Amino acid sequence: MSAILPPSERIWWKTPVGKEEIVWILLALIWCIIMFAMMPIWHIYGKQNLSNEAYKTTPVQYEAKVKAMTEQHTIRTQLVGGVDVPVVAPPAGSDVYMLARLWSWYPMLELKKGESYRLHLSSLDWQHGFSLQPININLQVLPEYEMVITITPDTSGEFTIVCNEYCGILHHTMLGKIYVTE
């Protein structure tokens, strides 16, 4: 019998299943159960998964939060692509706001090593991807949603934020920075 020709017996489901097929079906079922059980275990004990929060917002409300934080905690500006971008150093333990818009992350952040911050992310226009390199934290950043993650930098240095969701013709230029100081 082949897949092209109709089955010789019209009631094919009454045909007995071979032992080899039963073994493979059981192996596949056992593997599915193992993987299903591992998902919550990986989430709880794995370092690759972020437990985060999400809140409904509007671009206007979120932009106002970012501007208020930027005005209060700006320590300097940095020239990026001909534009002065503020570098913000919020106090440890505070809420830190960063927004995505075509084709930039705003503002740049300066955080202290070993201190915890609640990082709020949202987009003003399209879907963007927040990829912190070389740490490899990846999140989708959507308009009208405020994603919140708690971060505690454990290494000092300069970290780059890359947009990893295609957002238009200048997507490749959408970079941001987080500076971690001692």
- Phi, psi of 77, rounded to the nearest 5 degrees: -120, 160
Is the omega angle on the peptide bond into residue 107 within 30 degrees of 0, that is, cis? yes
pTM as predicted: 0.73
Q: Taking the domains of the chain in order of start, what are their residue ranges?
A: 53-181
Q: pLDDT tens-digit profile of 95-133? A: 999 999 888 899 999 999 999 999 999 999 989 999 888
Higher local confidence (pLDDT), 97 or 10: 97
Confidence of residue 11 (pLDDT cuts 50, 70, 90): confident
Query: Average pLDDT of 86-94?
Result: 91
Residues 41-58 as b or e (16 or more Cβ within 10 Å = b): eeeeeeeeeeeeeeeebe
- Evaluate if residue 2 carries a pLDDT over 70: no
- Evaluate if residue 48 carries a pLDDT over 70: no
Tokens of 8: 């010789």
Is the Cβ–Cβ distance between 76 and 87 less than 8 Å? yes
Quick one: CATH architecture of 53-181?
A: Sandwich (2.60)
Average pLDDT across the chain, whole number: 87
pLDDT of residue 168: 86
Specify the amino acid at residue 29: L
Confidence of residue 63 (pLDDT cuts 50, 70, 90): very high
Residues 84-115 as b or e (16 or more Cβ within 10 Å = b): ebbbbbbeeeeebbbbbbbbbbbbbbbbbeee
**Distance, CA of 109 to CA of 69 (rounded, Å):** 11
**Distance, CA of 38 to CA of 172 (rounded, Å):** 36
pLDDT of residue 79: 84
Collect contacts of 31-35 with beta carbons under 8 A, ≥24 apart: none
**Distance, CA of 60 to CA of 36 (rounded, Å):** 41
Q: From the CB of residue 25, how many other CB atoms can be counted at a distance below 10 Å?
A: 11
pLDDT of residue 46: 72
Is the Cβ–Cβ distance between 125 and 143 less than 8 Å? yes
